[in-house]
Amino acid sequence: MSKELMNKKDIDRALTRMAHEIIEKNKGTGNLCLVGIQRGGVYLAKRLASNIKQTEKKDIPVGSLDIAFYRDDLNIRKEQPVVRRTEISFEVTNLKIILVDDVLFTGRSIRAAMDAVMDLGRPSAIQLSVLIDRGHRELPIKADYVGKNIPTALTETVEVQLEEEGFEDRVILKKIEDEK
């Protein structure tokens, strides 16, 4: 059983608005960079950067971050997370970093991402941008820019499907089926 929460148009509109909010809050693009969390966040970071470029006519640096080595659940997961590359080709020290992720849930990935970024340097600030906030936080973490707030039950999952991974753009809510 699944239900569509956002379609392509909805996602485009949300990202356009978030790009504007990012520019507004930071008063332009000075010292700004976007860092997407592998994998979904990386595609969204690139889309946000191109939206920002359309209005501000400026390129802002985009990086990708893998948080596998910083997770707090390595002992309890069924298997190790696949390690993807962290590619941040710029010095993060003194930059304002906008972390980009697809879904904000417990907040634990964001905690791991902040630790990972801090090991790369000392950014002047870290802000958080997510396409979906589904609630159920386990840590005191809050997003600065949110595409859509969606109340969910713990028995549900939220899937963000993107063109870059060979899907049609959409966000769907699924019931977790009982593992047999």
CB of 127 to another protein, least distance (A): 22
Q: Is 115 in the site for another protein (CB under 8 A)?
A: yes
Q: Is 59 in the site for another protein (CB under 8 A)?
A: no
User: For residues 17-48, b (16+ Cβ closer than 10 Å) or e, as one string?
Assistant: ebbeebbeebeebeebbbbbbbebbbbbbbbb
Q: Is 90 in the site for another protein (CB under 8 A)?
A: no
The edge-to-edge listing of strands for the beta sheet with 62-65 is 62-65, 32-37, 96-104, 125-133, 145-149
d(CA 13, CA 6): 10
CB of 171 to another protein, least distance (A): 28
Question: Of the two residues 79 and 168, which places its CB atom closer to another protein in the complex?
Answer: 79
The contact mask relative to another protein for 151-180 (x = CB under 8 A, - = no) is ------------------------------
CB of 111 to another protein, least distance (A): 12
CB of 160 to another protein, least distance (A): 23
Angle between helices 8-26 and 40-56 (to 10 degrees): 60
DSSP string, 117-152: HHTT---SEEEEEEEEE----SSS---SEEEEE---
Q: Is 120 in the site for another protein (CB under 8 A)?
A: yes
CB of 168 to another protein, least distance (A): 29
Residues near another protein (CB under 8 A) are 66, 68-71, 74, 77-80, 83-86, 115, 119-121
